[in-house]
Amino acid sequence: MATLELRGIKKHYGSIHAVDGVDVVVAEGEFLAILGPSGCGKTTLMRMIAGLEMPSAGEILIGGKPVTHLPPRARNVSMVFQSYALYPNMTVARNIAFPLKTRGMPTAERDAKVAWAVGIMGIGHLLHRRPARLSGGEKQKVALARALVRDPALFIFDEPLSSLDAQVRTMARGELRQLHDRTGVTTVYVTHDQLEALGMGDRIAIMQHGRVHQLGTPQELYDDPADTFVAAFLGAPPMNMLERDGHIVGFRAEYLLPSASPAAAHDDALSLRMHISQLEFLGAEWLVYGEIENGATPQKLLAKVPPAVAATLRVGEQREFTVARSRLRHFDSTTGLRVRDERG
Amino acid sequence: MSEAEASSGVGLGDRDHLLGWLMLAPSLIYIAALVGLPFFLAIALSVTSATVGDPSIHGFVGLGNFVQVLHESAFPLALRNSVIVTLATLILTLVLATAESELLVRDFRGKRLLQILLILPWAMPVSLAAIDWLWLLDSEFSPVDWLLRHMHLLGPGSPLGPANHLYYYGKEWLGLGAIVMINVWRLLPFATIIVLAGRTSIPRDIFEQAQVDGAGFFRTLFSITLPALLPILMVASMFTALLVFGDMAVTALTTRGGPGYATQVLPYWAYLKGIDGGALSEGAAVALFMFPVLLVGAILALRMAYRTDSQGDQP
């Protein structure tokens, strides 16, 4: 358990700036999710924290101690790879014991530690199997036990859920977060899946082009995106964005509602006349695809409405939709940065 | 295939059975004509009294040739030398091939050039290689001797003896050592390519995980790399062993089996007997002594390769 501090971390491969100045402080016991599209530099950043790559510039501190140029084994960092990277020629028991063996722990102590990690993950029945005979979920548990067994200063997860089936993934997400809460180990979790980041992270760092666009709690990022990239990347569907009066105005689909419905009966609201082009059933709610006249070009918008409201809508008709002004977020149309002056 | 089927407009490509045999035919004919036929001919020759002057297989003598060959003083020497040369070459080649593949799997400056240099022995014609090695270990002009003399390891009053030359090809153990060295030099590129292919197919994650888990170079090598390489090392040993055990060129071009029969090996002895000496049937008998060894070696290596491969690595 320790803090993690990244100071001005850069990684350049020739003219390519994979990571271009990242400053992040992760508190002791915190779960930080690093979220971004592929190629944003999140994997490179993670590899530098683990010690698998050396930064071109900047400093890394774990537990207050600089580790920037130390090899991985001198950092006491546990890592779970996307593939789980279990040693194929070793049984589950020997896989889990491996990190202890490398540091020359006596056998008795080692066995006790392995039994403890195996107990936490509930994989006692798998001990004598080889990795090839394990399911995806079992592999993950073994990889977690191996990461856990040596009381690491830091957990690093590299998209550990992406090779699981969709059904198992939700469960695995819960288990991972529970494991973190039980052990209290500082965790860096790299993912491109916003559901994982939103669901598990205490805070999320959103990255693009080697930079952190915004660092904050999931709620902050969702409600108060720092720029248009975050607004468009986070949330399903992404934030609606309109060009108006030289600004970009953004609002979430769930706040865009037909005027007739009581929820939208708001004095201080922005009104938009929308042509409904498609209705999509999502289960608990409906997604409304619409178009509005915005200057010369038509603009596509999305609204998320409850089934009762959706029942009043017809494809092809024109309807008045409104969004409360308190829900509008304004961005500079050239830089894409948030403008805090909340004008209509 | 009936006439009705053949005329129903179904092309050759749709008739898997016939097509299969057609595609296999060239290799079957090749194996039958150039491997099978000579093999059975050798068996036939070995039980007759055929000579180069009279290569008919009428004079049946039973196992007489085998008994005759077994009683010759050269036989135990040739068998011993074949085994020693094969085992020594095998061990050295595997160790060096693993070391080379560990080196070549990494990125460094000049890697391309090194790759070309390492593959060169494989591309060299055997006659050229023989000239190189004959000169390198020449009885009078050997540069190795010259180097040793300059390092005061050879010559009067030095650790390696008072003579000015080591006469590599004229001494039993130096001769065998030279044969092993040339075989290693000759087969290392091939073995390296096989092992390197296996090494690059191990996912990189595994090695990075080992790094994060605190393993150093040697622990990674012995706990991770070598176990993962085992099947491919089996394949490499099989090829290396078969190529060395059946080879007569290196011995023929260097020691010629001498002095006496001290460095003789089975294949060259078979050649000397059967072709040079004209005793075709006895040569065939010597050659057939190698067959069970080669067969057992091939079966063992293949079985081990299959077993390690299926040892729980398939889900």
Tens-digit pLDDT profile for residues B251-276: 888 877 778 777 888 888 888 877 77
Chain B residues lying within 8 Å of A103, measured CB to CB: 214
Chain A residues lying within 8 Å of B215, measured CB to CB: 73, 98, 102
- The pLDDT of residue A122 is 87
Chain A residues lying within 8 Å of B228, measured CB to CB: 88-89
Those residues whose C-beta lies under 8 Å from the C-beta of residue B265, and which sit 6 or more positions away, are B78, B81, B82, B85, B179, B248, B251, B257
Mutate one of A89, A98, A149 to test the B interface: name it (highest B CB count within 10 A).
A89
pLDDT tens-digit readout, B163-184 = 767 777 767 787 888 888 888 8
- The pLDDT of residue B314 is 39
In a domain, A133, yes or no: yes
Does the beta carbon of A73 lie under 8 angstroms from any beta carbon of chain B? yes
DSSP B282-303: HHHHHHHHHHHHHHHHHHHHHH
Please say whether the beta carbons of A19 and A189 come within 8 A: no
**High-pLDDT (> 70) share of chain B, %:** 88
Total tally of structural domains belonging to chain A: 2
- The pLDDT of residue A287 is 92
Give yes or no: residues A88 and A190 share one domain: yes
Mutate one of B205, B212, B310 to test the A interface: name it (highest A CB count within 10 A).
B212
Average pLDDT over residues B107-117: 87
Question: Are A133 and B219 an interchain contact pair (Cβ–Cβ within 8 Å)?
Answer: no
Domain finish residue from A228, A253, A281: A228
Nearest CA-CA distance, residue A268 and chain B, Å: 56
**Which H or E run includes A49?**
helix A42-50
* Beta strands A247-251 and A286-294, pairing class: unpaired
- The pLDDT of residue B315 is 35
For residue B259, cis peptide bond before it (omega within 30 degrees of 0): yes
Does the beta carbon of A162 lie under 8 angstroms from any beta carbon of chain B? no
Length of chain B equals 315
Q: Of A243, A229, A241, A228, which Cα lies nearest the Cα of A297?
A: A243
Question: Are B209 and A51 an interchain contact pair (Cβ–Cβ within 8 Å)?
Answer: no
Question: Are A72 and B212 an interchain contact pair (Cβ–Cβ within 8 Å)?
Answer: yes
Average pLDDT over residues B35-63: 78
Please say whether the beta carbons of A323 and A331 come within 8 A: no
Measured in degrees and rounded to the nearest 5, phi and psi for residue A195 equal -65, -40
pLDDT tens-digit readout, A290-327 = 988 866 678 888 999 998 888 888 888 888 888 888 88
Domain finish residue from A228, A249, A270: A228
Alpha helices in A53-153 (DSSP H): 92-102, 107-121, 136-148
Give yes or no: residues A217 and A251 share one domain: no
Does the beta carbon of B228 lie under 8 angstroms from any beta carbon of chain A? yes
Domain finish residue from A182, A206, A228: A228
- Per-residue pLDDT band for B44 (boundaries 50, 70, 90) equals confident
In a domain, B32, yes or no: no
CA distance B266 to B285: 11
Alpha helices in chain B (DSSP H): 3-6, 16-31, 37-46, 64-70, 74-104, 111-123, 126-136, 143-150, 172-200, 204-212, 217-219, 226-245, 249-253, 266-271, 280-310
At CA B110, angle to CA B106 and CA B111, rounded to 5?
35
Does the beta carbon of B307 lie under 8 angstroms from any beta carbon of chain A? no
- The pLDDT of residue B98 is 93
Distance of CA B13 to the CA centre of its chain: 40
Please say whether the beta carbons of A22 and A45 come within 8 A: yes
Measured in degrees and rounded to the nearest 5, phi and psi for residue A19 equal -130, 130
Residue A336 pLDDT > 80, yes or no? Answer: yes
Total tally of structural domains belonging to chain B: 1
Question: Are B208 and A133 an interchain contact pair (Cβ–Cβ within 8 Å)?
Answer: no
User: Looking at the partner chain, which of A50, A81, A88 has a beta carbon nearest the beta carbon of B313?
Assistant: A88
CA distance A196 to A256: 26
Does the beta carbon of A42 lie under 8 angstroms from any beta carbon of chain B? no
- The pLDDT of residue A207 is 93
Nearest CA-CA distance, residue B207 and chain A, Å: 9
CA distance B85 to B243: 11
Alpha helices in A107-183 (DSSP H): 107-121, 136-148, 166-183
Does the beta carbon of B224 lie under 8 angstroms from any beta carbon of chain A? yes
Question: Are B209 and A73 an interchain contact pair (Cβ–Cβ within 8 Å)?
Answer: no
In a domain, A344, yes or no: no
CATH of the domain at A90: 3.40.50.300
Q: Of A170, A232, A296, A234, which Cα lies nearest the Cα of A33?
A: A234
Give yes or no: residues A324 and A186 share one domain: no
Give yes or no: residues A297 and A216 share one domain: no
Question: Are B210 and A87 an interchain contact pair (Cβ–Cβ within 8 Å)?
Answer: yes
pLDDT tens-digit readout, A95-125 = 999 999 998 889 999 999 999 999 888 888 9
In a domain, B44, yes or no: no
Measured in degrees and rounded to the nearest 5, phi and psi for residue A127 equal -50, -35
Give yes or no: residues A23 and A100 share one domain: yes
Range of the domain at A190: 4-228
Please say whether the beta carbons of B238 and B303 come within 8 A: no
At CA B296, angle to CA B273 and CA B221, rounded to 5?
115
In a domain, B137, yes or no: yes
In a domain, B60, yes or no: no
Chain B, nearest residue to A143 by Cα: B209
DSSP A9: E
Give yes or no: residues A218 and A282 share one domain: no
- Three-state SS at B170: helix
Does the beta carbon of B12 lie under 8 angstroms from any beta carbon of chain A? no
CATH of the domain at A308: 2.40.50.140
The token pair at A221 is: 């990022």
In a domain, A337, yes or no: no
DSSP A71: -
Stretch 186-205 of chain B: residues touching chain A, C-beta under 8 Å: 203, 205
CA distance A194 to A164: 16
Does the beta carbon of B214 lie under 8 angstroms from any beta carbon of chain A? yes
In a domain, B170, yes or no: yes
Residue B312 pLDDT > 50, yes or no? Answer: no
Measured in degrees and rounded to the nearest 5, phi and psi for residue B131 equal -60, -45
User: Looking at the partner chain, which of A71, A89, A98 has a beta carbon nearest the beta carbon of B213?
Assistant: A98
Mutate one of B202, B213, B307 to test the A interface: name it (highest A CB count within 10 A).
B213
Give yes or no: residues A138 and A286 share one domain: no
pLDDT tens-digit readout, B53-90 = 776 767 777 777 777 777 887 888 888 888 899 999 99
In a domain, B255, yes or no: yes
User: Looking at the partner chain, which of B205, B214, B313 has a beta carbon nearest the beta carbon of A99?
Assistant: B214
Q: How far is CA B112 from CA B96, B102, B108, B129, in A?
A: 19, 15, 9, 23
Question: Are B212 and A52 an interchain contact pair (Cβ–Cβ within 8 Å)?
Answer: yes
User: Looking at the partner chain, which of A50, A73, A133 has a beta carbon nearest the beta carbon of B315?
Assistant: A133
Give yes or no: residues A284 and A216 share one domain: no
Please say whether the beta carbons of A251 and A273 come within 8 A: no
The token pair at A250 is: 């953004």
Give yes or no: residues A189 and A324 share one domain: no
Give yes or no: residues A18 and A163 share one domain: yes
Question: Are B213 and A102 an interchain contact pair (Cβ–Cβ within 8 Å)?
Answer: yes
Give yes or no: residues A166 and A306 share one domain: no
pLDDT tens-digit readout, A174-202 = 888 888 998 889 999 999 988 889 989 99
- Other CB atoms within a 10 A radius of the CB of residue A77 amount to 25
pLDDT tens-digit readout, A201-254 = 999 999 999 999 999 999 999 999 999 999 989 888 889 888 877 788 899 988
- The pLDDT of residue B96 is 94
CA distance B12 to B20: 10
For residue B292, cis peptide bond before it (omega within 30 degrees of 0): no
pLDDT tens-digit readout, A260-299 = 655 545 567 788 888 899 999 988 899 999 988 866 678 8
Question: Are B314 and A73 an interchain contact pair (Cβ–Cβ within 8 Å)?
Answer: no
Stretch 142-161 of chain A: residues touching chain B, C-beta under 8 Å: 146
pLDDT tens-digit readout, B180-202 = 888 888 889 989 999 999 999 89
Position A181: which residue type?
Answer: D
Chain A, nearest residue to B309 by Cα: A89
Range of the domain at B211: 72-313
At CA A199, angle to CA A193 and CA A204, rounded to 5?
70
Question: Are A99 and B213 an interchain contact pair (Cβ–Cβ within 8 Å)?
Answer: yes
Q: Of B166, B132, B216, B198, which Cα lies nearest the Cα of A74?
A: B216
pLDDT tens-digit readout, A46-70 = 999 999 999 999 999 999 899 998 9
Chain A residues lying within 8 Å of B208, measured CB to CB: 50, 52, 72, 79, 81, 85
CATH of the domain at B252: 1.10.3720.10
Nearest CA-CA distance, residue A231 and chain B, Å: 34
Give yes or no: residues A217 and A79 share one domain: yes
Q: Hey, what long-range contacts does B127-131 have (CB within 8 A, 24 or more apart)?
A: B127/B253, B129/B182, B129/B185, B129/B186, B130/B249, B130/B253, B130/B254
- The pLDDT of residue A178 is 87
CA distance B104 to A271: 67
pLDDT tens-digit readout, B122-133 = 888 877 877 888
In a domain, A339, yes or no: no
In a domain, B35, yes or no: no
Owner of token pair 């400093």: A59
Does the beta carbon of A214 lie under 8 angstroms from any beta carbon of chain B? no
Does the beta carbon of A128 lie under 8 angstroms from any beta carbon of chain B? no
In a domain, B13, yes or no: no
Does the beta carbon of B312 lie under 8 angstroms from any beta carbon of chain A? yes
CA distance A257 to A253: 8
Q: How many CB pairs under 8 A join A and B?
A: 70
Chain A residues lying within 8 Å of B223, measured CB to CB: 87, 90, 98
In a domain, A155, yes or no: yes
- Per-residue pLDDT band for B7 (boundaries 50, 70, 90) equals low
- The pLDDT of residue A260 is 63
- Per-residue pLDDT band for A157 (boundaries 50, 70, 90) equals very high
